[in-house]
Structure 1
């Protein structure tokens, strides 16, 4: 990668703390419900999010 480094982000004073540890990957219940309701329901031929996760080896 030969792109120049944009050092502006190093100078930003970000006051919001970054999450670390197990809590960094926990999705709040209401958001998890919305995500689940927006995903496809199981499909008999497997053309749904579960098959995608399986093929990407994320299941």
Structure 2
């Protein structure tokens, strides 16, 4: 992992818990932070798949 990867990782650790709290405050549902976490996980998995597809060796 390079410096940008670590930066994004620690930025996510700092920024995402308040987002989950905001989701809880806006909806009033105790399940909202879990749903926000599931959405972030789905986005990260999608990003990983796009990255893997883009870096795959292609025959010339």
TM-score, L = length of structure 2: 0.27
Larger Rg: 1
Which structure has the highest helix share of the two?
2
TM-score, L = length of structure 1: 0.27
Higher relative CO (Cα under 8 Å, sequence separation at least 6) belongs to 2
